[in-house]
Structure 1
């Protein structure tokens, strides 16, 4: 939208508001005094609320056909970008460290099971026994003595 389009829309809205106000003013003359006073007080509050909302609205800037909110002098310089990426980098590094730790722990557990299997003289039927894995998880006599 161009500036002239925005001004035309504002003018149209203002004219519509003035016509509504004229109709309301004409109708107020026929109302009792107490009702007209309550309407006057309500109008005053509405105008005051509208004035406050207009003052607190953000400033918009139109550049190259894009409407932008004016955020002040704080631009996205290199330090702001680095500061916004640091938490993401820390999260990824932490997750990678946890994954490596879990993988190493799992490899150590499998190595212990393999070492126990290779060190003991077991018959082949022991490997097919469902309770064999539980047996391997039990502490050995040397571990109990320590």
Structure 2
């Protein structure tokens, strides 16, 4: 849309200049004409200059597949290059979460097994004095 505005402005400007050209002296018109020819020659030479374009290695192969009528070739590969790492990341995070949950369950089961196989009654573990005794005994 911006290019359209620029083109319209250029056309209006050119039209306004063309309307007033007959009022200019002859030597000024000749200088403007030669300057315009020089500018156009520079413009044409810059447009015709080759531009180096970096193409992926598979670019030629996909166009060959399209010419043979085998569909879109490897076009799906571009879409999958985003989805595959994203899926791997999600599965990795879910796997790590499941592993941590399993390890926590095993630790709690081991603590429960130790408490149940001990000779002390459960009420001893609830006593605040016993907790102080255990911490004092460890020092």
TM-score (norm 2): 0.42
Q: Which protein is richer in helix relative to its size?
A: 2
Normalized against structure 1, the TM-score is what?
0.41
Ranked by relative contact order (alpha carbons within 8 Å, sequence separation 6 or more), the top structure is 1
Structure with more strand by fraction: 1
